[in-house]
Chains A and B, each alone.
Chain A
Amino acid sequence: MSTYVNTSVQHENELSQYKGVLVLGEQRDGKILSVTFELLTRGRALANDLGCELSCVLLGDHIDNLEEVVKRGADKVYFIKDASLKNFLPRPYSNAIVKLCRELKPEIIVAAATTTGRTVMPLVTSKLETGLTADCTELTIDPETKILLQTRPAIGGNIMATIKTPNHRPQMATVRPKSAKPAPIDPSRTGEVIVKEYEGATFFTPEKFLEYIKDTTQEVSIEEADIIVAGGKGMKNADGFKMVEELARILGAGVGATRDAVELGWTTYPHQIGLSGKTVSPKLYFAFGISGKIQHLAGMQTSEVIVAVDKDPDALIFRVADYGIVGDVFEVVPMLIEAFKKLKANA
């Protein structure tokens, strides 16, 4: 049996060596994903509160427009560049991030709660022997201790827990995509772009990336959508569910579904929102024919604005909705489709 490194309290002097906030950006095919800009909003607020620098790290084989990351709030942008980083693989990505963190010693690292962030952060955390809080909806600095306070929902969103990592650095958290607005471009901002090239051993892995297959049923990826139109059992059948998809198409929105709708075969699992599906926080969430079981609410109740249509006035979904219409989805949804069609035509 191998020996374990003791993760108990790091020495206090050691803690104070850690400075600065680092956010973990994401790219696909060299394009920086907008979730990176949301992280810059989060990171900038934390760095301002602490009076420290904000850095952003991106990994890939090539990345367009790294300057934009500076214009949107980073003081330093680290681009870890290697042909093997073209696609995300947990081992080379986590090894490279750990290497950079050992150089930079950031006091806080924030990533997005995407499939990438939620995979790489636990690996980085255990390699750095520190603590991690997943899927936060709020990050603040304790004004007295300057410690990061990480608030996240648990038990299906039925409780909120505030968590801290008092005696270990860096303090690590992932935050829900869409829970912050993307940082705007400020053309006057200046900063540094630093390209990091590490030796090949850093990126060695037995994992082999075979292929990426686009899900043709997701015209708009649910995790990245500003608007989600979701349907439940109240849509009655596959034909009824098509109204959900039609409105989504008109709005350029993602299509969401309850577990029932997926199990009835009206759409596929990648569309399932809730405890055993995806957790989303779009700007606008339409819930049609969804009663609002706890399992579904857990996946969507942090959405900015929630609109619900259901025939049952006591449906739980109305408790989390900002705007509720009690009525038959087959009467109301077609009216909505017409109204948005008109709106889009006039826009």
Chain B
Amino acid sequence: MLNIVVLVKQVPGTDNVKMDPETGVMIRSGKDTIINPLDENALAEAIRIKNSHENVKVTAISMGPDSAIKALKEAIAMGADEGVLISGRAFAGSDTIATAKAIAAAIKKLDSVDLIVCGERATDGETGQTGAMIAHYLDIPVETYVSAIEVKETSAILKRTVEGGFERIEVPYPVMATVNKDINEPGFPTLKGKLQAKQKTIPVYGPEALGLEPAELGLKGSPTRVVKVFSPKLSRDTIMKKANGTTEPVDELIKFLSGKDVI
């Protein structure tokens, strides 16, 4: 039996996002949420492993508001066996450390987990650090930027995408892998999966169920504080030229770049 946990985060949909031309701020409707795209890759990988090996169980875990149940149902529709939601007012304002503690506590409630997969980062916070922190709280090894997982009897061989190339690392279970987009094509919900998703009850764990102290939760349990949020100065003083069949725009560009000392 191979127990796989997939971590899925619900994030704002970005595909229909428009930018305010004046302020450069993202305009999006509040209802539009999706599973973090790299978590979809993680999910597809877990399901691929399940479909190509005997005795694999896939549990999807999410932390977020009640509406994140939608993401977990979607995960089950795509082939996960179970879903678990970590939710509660006390979790609000959690930074990556506080989030990692809560998720690690939920994973500890499951039977002997062998492999945990999640996206290398989420499209909203983009910190890319929660995965490694969860591994710390579980005291298991973590490999990041994983683009291939080879499941063996007692270990996994993980291919990492790094600067200028790839690395292959072998780690005995249990291990955590944070994956990038190269690992696979995300899957689709199946009819059978959709039916299962409808029937499945998703347990919701609050702080008490996870045995967490109030001081470890939400803003209180978060060492970092946001001081301010502001819009970046997006537009630059752009020099615009029109191609006119002559080399003039290109010649001017070379002069411009020489002046900037970048070539």
Q: Which residues of A contact B (CB under 8 A)?
A: 1-2, 4, 6-8, 87, 89-91, 114-116, 118-119, 121-123, 125-127, 129-135, 149, 153-168, 205-215, 218, 221, 223-224, 226-227, 251, 268-270, 272, 275-277, 283-284, 294-295, 301, 304-307, 309, 316, 318-328, 331-332, 335-336, 338-340, 343
CA gap between A114 and B160 in the complex, in Å: 13
Instruction: List the A side residues contacting B125 at CB < 8 Å.
Output: 154
Assess whether B226 is in contact with A162, with CB atoms less than 8 Å apart: yes
Task: Take A158-B19, A305-B260, A332-B250 as given contacts and tell me if A134 and B165 are in contact as well, using a CB distance cutoff of 8 Å.
Answer: no
Task: Take A210-B170, A215-B166, A305-B257 as given contacts and tell me if A160 and B182 are in contact as well, using a CB distance cutoff of 8 Å.
Answer: no
Assess whether B97 is in contact with A213, with CB atoms less than 8 Å apart: no
Residue B31 lies at the interface, judged by CB distance under 8 Å to chain A: no
- Shortest distance in angstroms between A318's beta carbon and chain B's nearest beta carbon? 6
CA gap between A305 and B238 in the complex, in Å: 10
List B142-175 residues whose CB lies under 8 Å from chain A.
Answer: 142-145, 147, 157, 160-172
Counting chain A CB atoms within 10 Å of each CB, which of B14, B213, B231 scores highest? B14
CA gap between A283 and B262 in the complex, in Å: 6
Instruction: Count how many chain B residues have C-beta atoms less than 8 Å from C-beta atoms of the other chain.
Output: 94
Assess whether A206 is in contact with B97, with CB atoms less than 8 Å apart: no
- Shortest distance in angstroms between A119's beta carbon and chain B's nearest beta carbon? 4
5 contacts between A and B (CB under 8 A): A125-B97, A157-B232, A276-B38, A307-B257, A321-B238
- Shortest distance in angstroms between B24's beta carbon and chain A's nearest beta carbon? 7
B180 to chain A: closest residue by CB: A269
Of the listed stretches B48-56, B65-73, B197-205, B241-249, chain A binds: B241-249
Closest 6 CB pairs of A and B: A327-B243, A131-B223, A221-B164, A122-B132, A122-B129, A131-B224
Instruction: List the B side residues contacting A284 at CB < 8 Å.
Output: 257, 260, 262-263
Assess whether B241 is in contact with A324, with CB atoms less than 8 Å apart: yes
Instruction: List the B side residues contacting A226 at CB < 8 Å.
Output: 262
Residue B253 lies at the interface, judged by CB distance under 8 Å to chain A: yes
- Shortest distance in angstroms between B17's beta carbon and chain A's nearest beta carbon? 6
Q: Which residues of B contact A (CB under 8 A)?
A: 12, 14, 17, 19, 24-26, 37-38, 95-97, 100-101, 105, 108, 123-133, 135-137, 141-145, 147, 157, 160-172, 180-182, 211-213, 215-216, 220-232, 234-245, 247, 249-251, 253-254, 256-257, 260, 262-263
Instruction: List the A side residues contacting B129 at CB < 8 Å.
Output: 118, 121-122, 125, 132, 134
Assess whether B141 is in contact with A91, with CB atoms less than 8 Å apart: yes
Assess whether A155 is in contact with B108, with CB atoms less than 8 Å apart: no
CA gap between A2 and B105 in the complex, in Å: 9
Instruction: List the B side residues contacting A277 at CB < 8 Å.
Output: 181
Instruction: List the B side residues contacting A133 at CB < 8 Å.
Output: 127, 224
Assess whether B236 is in contact with A320, with CB atoms less than 8 Å apart: yes
Task: Take A122-B132, A325-B253 as given contacts and tell me if A6 and B213 are in contact as well, using a CB distance cutoff of 8 Å.
Answer: yes
Assess whether B164 is in contact with A218, with CB atoms less than 8 Å apart: yes
Counting chain A CB atoms within 10 Å of each CB, which of B95, B108, B164, B182 scores highest? B164
Assess whether A115 is in contact with B225, with CB atoms less than 8 Å apart: no
Assess whether A6 is in contact with B215, with CB atoms less than 8 Å apart: yes
